[in-house]
A = this chain, B = another copy of it.
Amino acid sequence: MPIEIPDVVIDRLPLYYRLLSRLESEGRGVISSQELGEELGVTPAQIRKDLSYFGRFGKQGRGYSVQRLAEELRLILGLDKRWRVVVVGIGRLGRAISSYPGFEGQGFDIVGRYDANPAVIGTQLDGQEIRDARLLEADLSARPADIGIVAVPAEYAQQVVDTLTRGGVKAVLNYTPARVQVPPDTELKHINPVVFLQSMTYHLKLRGRARA
């Protein structure tokens, strides 16, 4: 692909993929951009344009083969591979995330769980031992990982991220409210529920539903 593909497009693909994947399992054969759009709340033109960055997957007058398109999206997103994920910080949140049943089926293998709390280190979760966070760097050099999920207290976020990137991790999902720095070749995304809520309250306030 010679031209640069906008990030917003990439971010929509998993949405398309999820629906296609469901339709595929339901045995649906063909679908139009019209119908996809209705289902997803996106304009049909948007979907066609997005897909056209990657190739011509549809048939005029007919639509898209659900199976074909799902497979193409798997390839585009790299979901035909398995990805090695480490989770650092096995508190309440880290526990919930790392046991999330949705990862495995989508090609994400939790290959390591780390914590700094002596009461937690050495205990088992889903049949896997939680390891001392100090071993993270050595573990990564022995057996690299692709993705790091960070769910430690905010004040440790940066040092954990540094360890991850030094260990060759090229994508970080940060559940901490701290903004962290990563090298330019590393993907970084933040998940912070407070930020989501705060932008929603702006709209709520305009509707006058606030209480003192």
Contact = CB atoms under 8 A, between A and B. Distances in A.
Interface string A1-34: 0000000001101110111000000000000000
A76 B93 CA distance: 30
A57 interface: no
Nearest to A99: B92
A106, A147, A204: which has the most chain B beta carbons within 10 Å?
A: A204
Given A171-B204, A189-B200, A191-B191, 13 more contacts: A18-B195, A41-B179, A78-B201, A79-B198, A81-B210, A106-B194, A106-B197, A147-B201, A147-B204, A171-B200, A173-B200, A187-B203, A189-B199
Nearest to A203: B187
A49 interface: no
Contact of A196 (B189, B200, B201): B189
A106 B198 contact: yes
Q: How many copies does the complex hold?
A: 2
A14 to B, nearest CB: 4
A83 B196 contact: no
A110 B209 CA distance: 17
Interface in A79-121: 79, 81-85, 91-93, 95-97, 99-100, 102-103, 106-108
Given A13-B198, A76-B202, A92-B95, A185 B171 contact: no
A205 interface: yes
Contacts of A14: 194-195, 198-199
Nearest to A100: B193
25 contacts: A10-B202, A10-B203, A13-B202, A14-B199, A17-B198, A76-B202, A77-B201, A78-B210, A79-B201, A81-B212, A91-B96, A93-B96, A93-B97, A95-B96, A96-B96, A102-B177, A103-B193, A103-B197, A108-B194, A170-B207, A171-B200, A171-B204, A173-B200, A187-B204, A189-B199
